[in-house]
Amino acid sequence: MPEVEESGGAPSRGEGPAVAPRDPGLPTAADVDRAAALLGPVVPPTPLQRADRLSELTGLEVWLKREDLTPVRSYKARGAYTVLAGLSEEERARGVTCASAGNHAQGVAFACARAGVSATIFLPRTTPRQKRDRVAALGGDQVEVVIAGDQYDDAAVAAADFAAASGATVIPAFDHPGIIAGQGTVAAEILAQSAALGWSPDALVLPVGGAGLIAGCLTVLGERLPGVRVLAAEPAGATSLAAALAAGAPVELDHVDPFVDGAAVRRVGDLTYRAVAAATSTIDVTLAAVPEGLICVEMLDLYQVDGIIAEPAGALAPAALRLPGVLEQGGPLAGLAPGSRVVVVVSGGNNDVSRYADIVERALVHEGLKHYFLVEFPQEPGALRRFLDDVLGPDDDITLFEYTKRNNRETGPALVGIEMHSRDDLPGLLARLDESRLRVEKISPDSPLFGFVFS
């Protein structure tokens, strides 16, 4: 799949496009307003803040919607509380269950603790420990956490089985009218906050996993700001919405990269897909597949420059603004004039500090500052010293040296990681490797061997 993929757009604002008959199963902007009234005392509006760094980088006027500052550090509390508030007393007595990669679980735990409803929450093994601990802390005595499977979809099966056996109500992560309405309050707040500042957005950049957030936001925007540009940012390793729109229905991806755990969903929801597909009659929706390495670069800049702790899914939408050619012809935001106001949702701040070594590694590889090689060394004294003296440049540094095995009496391969001061130093390094007469294989980031590096 190409890095940037466009879906069918709508005419520009004010042209009065024909609107398809409304799907009666989808929530409306009025449903979002009712959700906002429920959420008001529980989840206060999150700030809308100007992003100086991204504004300077893009030439746009970029504003961040800080969903990482909710009580659960993501927007997920909005939908979870909306659904829980709509349950009957009998349903509350039976308890609830859910599956989650982490953030939805925190939203459900937060809601259950306030409503006095018990919950059994299923998380995949890939959920960072920080998120597991937060679920337990937010839910307290009302929540039991169960680890099930390696991905979200495995946990979802376990939650469904538990519900069938116990009578507990499933609170889906995204595919539910109440979830969509609750997440849509993000867009409602953006419109109210920008209006208070005297403007309305020219474009929004929204992260996409199961598509609950974008479905809710499009529900509001389609009725209240038709023609606005929307960039839907998906992880390159989990482009489930792009696959659904291409197929005309939700489909399962053959493979999902779990790194962006908050958005690594194999299949978007049926209801969320219908909401997104319906909205494209009035809203110009463009999809962008954002490489995981670029997400890591943005995570580090958010942290080091802006002082914002974002998880991979939280940095997904801001990273989309850094895609090559994002504003050029054919790019996802082509045609936006300099200074156009763009609102970007920072969707979550639940990052485990233990992941930063991996994040730095992926960022360096993406920026071309770190490379890996399989080097066949002769089994003789001084071979490594000659490699250091003759091959490494003055600013090159060996960050990994893993001797694998002896192939025969004469040679043995080693996995060598080299970090450089500038990506422009790579041609010189490759030339020196060639002159060394060593047998060398450069490892592509697409190679299965990179699983060893990032394990």
Q: Which of 194, 240, 340, 347 is catalytic?
A: 347
447 a catalytic residue = no
Distance of alpha carbon 452 from alpha carbon 455, whole angstroms: 5
The edge-to-edge listing of strands for the beta sheet with 229-235 is: 4-6, 284-290, 229-235, 203-207, 341-346, 61-66, 48-50
Token pair 């770190």: residue: 370
Distance of alpha carbon 365 from alpha carbon 445, whole angstroms: 8
Strand partners, 119: 96, 143
CA atoms within 13 A on the CB side of 303: 19
**What CA–CA distances, in Å, run from 292 to 2, 47, 266, 366?**
14, 27, 16, 8
Give the three-state DSSP class for 207.
strand
Distance of alpha carbon 222 from alpha carbon 183, whole angstroms: 15
Distance of alpha carbon 116 from alpha carbon 434, whole angstroms: 68
The edge-to-edge listing of strands for the beta sheet with 169-170 is: 143-147, 119-123, 96-99, 169-170
Q: Return the HEC string of 439-453.
A: EEEECCCCCCCHHHH
Distance of alpha carbon 16 from alpha carbon 8, whole angstroms: 16
455 a catalytic residue = no
Please give the helix or strand (H or E) that residue 48 lies within, else none.
strand 48-50
Give the three-state DSSP class for 385.
helix
Q: Which of 65, 76, 131, 370 is catalytic?
A: 76
Q: In the 8-state DSSP scheme, what is residue 323?
A: S
Q: Which two tokens stand for residue 89?
A: 């007393």
| Residue 172 buriedness (CB in 10 A; 0-12 / 13-18 / 19+) | buried
What are the catalytic residues? 76, 347
